[in-house]
Amino acid sequence: MRVGETREDRIAVLEGVRPGEKVVTEGQLKLQPDARVRIDANARLDAPAVRPKE
């Protein structure tokens, strides 16, 4: 994955994620190869608030 610009809590993902793939947004430091991942359907990622363009 290649990331780009970072602003506050948002990071641009430039390549490496295909449509429909899931991305870990919390607890990444504990990930290891072949680790089991629990998806919490109740903890949906909210859309970011609209921010003014700089």
pLDDT-derived band at 37 (thresholds 50, 70, 90) equals confident
Q: What's the whole-number mean pLDDT along residues 22-34?
A: 84
Percent of the chain at pLDDT above 70? Answer: 85
Q: What's the whole-number mean pLDDT along residues 15-21?
A: 90
What b/e string do you get for 5-39 counting C-beta neighbours within 10 Å, with b at 16 or more? Answer: eeeeeeeeeeeeeeeeeeeeeeeeeeeeeeeeeee
Query: Is 0.75 topped by the overall pTM?
Result: no
